[in-house]
Amino acid sequence: MATVAIVYFSAQGHTHQLAEAVAEGARGVNGTTVELVRLVGADIVEGRWKNPSVLAKLAAADAIVFGTPTYMGGYAAQFKAFIDTSSEVWMAQGWKDKLAAAFTHSQNLSGDKQSTLIGLWVNAMQHSMVWVSPGIKVEGYDADKLNRLAGYGGVMAQTAWGQEKVNEGDRKTAVLLGQRVAETAVRWVKGK
């Protein structure tokens, strides 16, 4: 059995919808267990994030999918606080050889989401993880099309100001990321 954990922050629910889509895709793969882990700001005290039960769930996972809104061209501060605490895991290389993948959401078409994904990739490389790309070609540029924002390193999603539901193309792209990570994790665990 392969375990895929999806760890994310979401203030207004859009990144949460994407996390659920990633989970849907992963759950559809035989032999996969999914852990959805939503980070909360209340776990940050004096700038330091702390939640041992979240870290225990991630320690038990074979793959970790990271998700955060893009704020000022990078991670949300709440997510960064979690990443900073993961330096304690880094000391022991506790996430070494786990699979990693990522998604981000923002309001603008670009909004500098690439910068967020690169930051998440750097974090995964520091942890000696193995990156899984979405593996999805651009289907078109309309809101219902797969990978319409051309995120080849991770899933990019965009929702306009005032729009509650994420666009269907972005949601479906996140489902496929979850599926690909889970399929890869099943193969990864078999080969151990």
What is the binding site for ligand FMN (CB under 6 A)? 10-16, 69-73, 105-108, 111-112
Nearer to ligand FMN, 15 or 184 (CB): 15
Q: Which residues contact 134 (CB under 8 A, 6 or more apart)?
A: 101, 147, 151, 152, 153, 154, 155, 173, 176, 177, 180
Distance CA 171, CA 53 (A): 28
Distance CA 65, CA 102 (A): 5
Nearer to ligand FMN, 12 or 87 (CB): 12
Min dist CB 97 to ligand FMN, Å, is 30
Q: How far is CA 100 from CA 4, 41, 61, 64, 137, in A?
A: 10, 23, 10, 5, 20
Nearer to ligand FMN, 31 or 41 (CB): 41
Residue 141 buriedness (CB in 10 A; 0-12 / 13-18 / 19+): exposed
Determine the residue with CB nearest ligand FMN.
111
Min dist CB 162 to ligand FMN, Å, is 11
| Tokens 């690169």 found at | 118
Min dist CB 11 to ligand FMN, Å, is 4
Nearer to ligand FMN, 69 or 134 (CB): 69
Min dist CB 161 to ligand FMN, Å, is 8
Q: In residues, how long is the chain?
A: 192
Nearer to ligand FMN, 85 or 116 (CB): 116
